[in-house]
Amino acid sequence: MTLEKSYFEYPHRSYGMDHDYYDWSMLVDRKPVEWPGGKQLALWVNVALQFFPLNQRGKPFPPPGGMSTAYPDLRHFTLREYGNRVGVFRVLSALDQFKVKGSFAISSRLAERYPYLVRRIVDRGDEILCHGWNMDTPHYGGQDKQEEAEIIARSLKVLRDVTGQRVTGWISPGKSQSLHTPELLVSNGINYMCDWVNDDMPFQFRTPAGDITAMPLSTELEDRFIILNNLHSETEYADQIIDAFDYLYAEAAEQGGRLLALNVHPWMLGQPHRIGKLELVLQHVMSHQGVWSAAAGDIRAAWLDAQ
Amino acid sequence: MKEDPGLYDYWPYENRPEITWPNGARVAFWVAPNIEFYELDPAVNPHRKAWPKPVPDVSGYATRDYGNRVGHMRLMRLLDKYGVRGSISLSTALCEHHPEIIAMCKERDWEFFSHGIYNTRYTYGMDEAQEKAMIEDAVETILKHTGQKCAGYLAPALTHTEVTMDLFAEAGGIYTCDLFHDDQPTPVQVRSGSKFVSVPYSLEMNDTIVYVVNRIEPRRYGDMIKANFDRLYAEGADNGVVMCIPLHGYQVSHPHRLRAFEEALEYITGHPDVWVTTGREIAEYYIDHHYDAAVADIAAKGRQS
């Protein structure tokens, strides 16, 4: 056997990254950040309100948490619907109980289908991010750029119309992107995206249409990832988040402001046997004086100010 | 293809010649941080896909990049605290991409060994000349950027050919981390006949295998490490053993994992009679003091047929 000669050519083997999206930078080398009010840790709770269509195409890949039986997969469809009907209200109560400011990433198709829920979030004065058209409309490498541009424009138009908010934040379904996604987001008035989980702090990302901020929304600390992907218990979920908080809080005291980014799915943590663990986590975090609970857009703005 | 890799003979764990370590230690303990570079859009190997999703696989790429931006520095602070020098399994192109990380490792007198050029370039499908050139490139890169003569090898992404060990030994290497057949170093047969050994590098203790493949909780990983150590420490009173913890800055260094790991590291390094060392030092000591006795014992116990 022999490989092509090109397999031994390394066109990007030089200083920095192997692409132009962002600069190479180590967290320890960056200017320390102080959050508003002299706080050391910013708590960002993202509540994902997602629509998984029953007629999932799964092309070119199915979304995490999507339909998995033969059609019609009533089981997974209704389990996900549970989050938007029941679970979300438990999550809202938990946020309010501990005075936590949530941010809400909403599938635009969900906003169209359930105006009551959107109105509820808007009336709370909470920030809404766009979570793509629906969970079965992925952005992916090789996608036609015009097609993707149309999806992004439509998703934002619908969500902006329904919510009346500017909507400047974005999370792709499954955090999947094409090579064009960041550029198309900038062209559509988005100024931060949450798909790149390569840091514990925000960082600037370049596109041909201008810069966009990458706000790392940790996958490792996500309820879905810990409980559904890793099959860890509810107790272990709480242990891991509390361990993460304690670590970041201590690191922030030495090295400057840190960000604890928790992605919460009401269809997961909104179940009666799990909601108590979210409450336990929020109680632990909010019992610390140095915590700043804020919306994602406000955290981004404070971070930019500190640069 | 062969029934058996032909790298070592069967050699029962009981009644082996005694291994002694410096200062009467029972366990030679080493920690191997993998410092890796994964490419966003690597050249395609027809035998293995680099990423499950079409380029850009944002989740996969960003997950690895976290180690370089955030993780290694946390691990360095922790290993410094417990007096552990890392033995780095290095994607050698990282010397060019991220020299700042290499400088921090050099300041700590850590060992660098080869883990290929990139962890997205696989050995599968290479002919012998190609693999030889790749191995030599990695060895030369380490020498050029660190001043160290590369002693050890962990194949990139654990992809091998039948001649990987032969080629690495001929490039001047003395040990491999690619074999998981034993808790002690063992001689490895290479065609040049040079003294070449396997230094145990436990996949069972490897954080990626633990967290990702086996989906183990962070605190349970700490418990597993302690249990692994306790048994090896007991057995090491009679015959010296090796314990290795292979790590990744993009796994163990996450904030929800590092404290539980630290407890295990504190536990191990809090014991007397533990030789906290590096892969190269274990290999060299073994070759100098125990290799010949091992070869004779293996021969006396009969080769497998």
**pLDDT tens track for A53-111:** 999 999 999 999 999 999 999 999 999 999 999 999 999 999 999 999 999 999 999 99
pLDDT tens-digit series, residues B78-120: 999 999 999 999 999 999 999 999 999 999 999 999 999 999 9
State whether A3 and B127 contact (CB < 8 Å).
yes
Structural class in CATH, domain A34-305: alpha beta
Task: List chain A domain ranges.
Answer: 34-305
Return the residue in A1, A2, A3, A254 with the most chain B beta carbons within 10 A, the one to mutate for interface testing.
Answer: A3
pLDDT of residue A1: 84
Contact B250, B208 (CB under 8 A): no
Asked if pLDDT for residue B53 goes beyond 80, the answer is yes
Q: Position of tokens 């089981």?
A: A75
First vs last C-alpha separation in chain A? 52
pLDDT tens-digit series, residues B233-286: 999 999 999 999 999 999 999 999 999 999 999 999 999 999 999 999 999 999
State whether B56 and A141 contact (CB < 8 Å).
yes
Sequence-distant (≥ 6) Cβ neighbours of residue A276 within 8 angstroms: A234
The span from the CA of B11 to the CA of B1, in Å, is: 23
State whether A243 and B255 contact (CB < 8 Å).
yes
Q: Which residue in chain B is spatially nearest to A7 when comparing CA positions? A: B43
Write out chain B residues lying below 8 Å of A179, CB-based.
Answer: 55-56
Check CB contact of B93 with chain A, cutoff 8 Å: yes
Check CB contact of B120 with chain A, cutoff 8 Å: no
State chain B's mean pLDDT as an integer: 97
Determine the 3-state secondary structure of A60 from DSSP: coil
State chain A's mean pLDDT as an integer: 98
CA atoms within 13 A on the CB side of B246: 24
Check CB contact of B252 with chain A, cutoff 8 Å: no
Write out chain B residues lying below 8 Å of A3, CB-based.
Answer: 45-46, 125-127, 130
Which candidate, B99, B100, B142, places its Cα nearest to that of B117?
A: B142
Asked if pLDDT for residue B305 goes beyond 90, the answer is no
Asked if pLDDT for residue B304 goes beyond 70, the answer is no
Write out chain A residues lying below 8 Å of B255, CB-based.
Answer: 200, 243-245, 247-248, 251
Task: Look up residue B227 and give its two tokens.
Answer: 């249990």
State whether B54 and A236 contact (CB < 8 Å).
no
The span from the CA of B211 to the CA of B71, in Å, is: 15
pLDDT tens-digit series, residues A186-242: 999 999 999 999 999 999 999 999 999 999 999 999 999 999 999 999 999 999 999
Write out chain A residues lying below 8 Å of B126, CB-based.
Answer: 1-3, 7
Residue A127: how many CB atoms within 10 A of its CB?
24
State whether A219 and B63 contact (CB < 8 Å).
yes
**Phi, psi (degrees; rounded to nearest 5) at A229:** -80, -50
Residue A73: how many CB atoms within 10 A of its CB?
17
The span from the CA of A25 to the CA of A214, in Å, is: 14
The span from the CA of A251 to the CA of B255, in Å, is: 9
State whether A247 and B255 contact (CB < 8 Å).
yes
The span from the CA of B204 to the CA of B207, in Å, is: 8
Q: Domains (ranges, CATH) in chain B?
A: 22-300 (3.20.20.370)
State whether A244 and B99 contact (CB < 8 Å).
no
Could you list the beta-strand ranges (E) of chain B.
27-35, 87-90, 111-114, 152-153, 175-176, 186-187, 197-198, 241-248, 274-277
pLDDT of residue A3: 97
Average pLDDT over residues A261-284: 98
Which candidate, B66, B55, B59, places its Cα nearest to that of A176?
A: B59
State whether B218 and A243 contact (CB < 8 Å).
yes
Contact A130, A79 (CB under 8 A): no
Sign, Cα dihedral of B116, B120, B121, B123? positive
Sequence-distant (≥ 6) Cβ neighbours of residue B176 within 8 angstroms: B152, B153, B154, B165, B168, B188, B196, B197, B198, B199
Distance from CA of A116 to the nearest CA of B (A): 33
Task: Look up residue A108 and give its two tokens.
Answer: 């635009």
Write out chain A residues lying below 8 Å of B127, CB-based.
Answer: 1-3
pLDDT of residue A103: 98
Contact A58, A66 (CB under 8 A): yes
State whether B70 and A200 contact (CB < 8 Å).
yes
Adjacent-strand bridge partners of B275: B28
Query: Between B66, B134, B219, which is nearest A199 by CB?
Result: B66
Contact B29, B278 (CB under 8 A): no
Contact B140, B163 (CB under 8 A): no
The span from the CA of A291 to the CA of B124, in Å, is: 50
Confidence grade of residue B211 (pLDDT, cut at 50, 70, 90): very high
pLDDT tens-digit series, residues B139-195: 999 999 999 999 999 999 999 999 999 999 999 999 999 999 999 999 999 999 999
Distance from CA of B211 to the nearest CA of A (A): 8
Which candidate, B128, B72, B140, B138, places its Cα nearest to that of B100?
A: B72
Query: Between B53, B57, B69, which is nearest A198 by CB?
Result: B69
Asked if pLDDT for residue B302 goes beyond 90, the answer is no
**DSSP category for residue B5:** -
Check CB contact of B96 with chain A, cutoff 8 Å: yes
Task: Look up residue B71 and give its two tokens.
Answer: 């993780």
Task: Look up residue B39 and give its two tokens.
Answer: 């490419």
ipTM of the complex: 0.97
Sequence-distant (≥ 6) Cβ neighbours of residue B20 within 8 angstroms: B240, B289
Return the residue in B38, B53, B58 with the most chain A beta carbons within 10 A, the one to mutate for interface testing.
Answer: B58
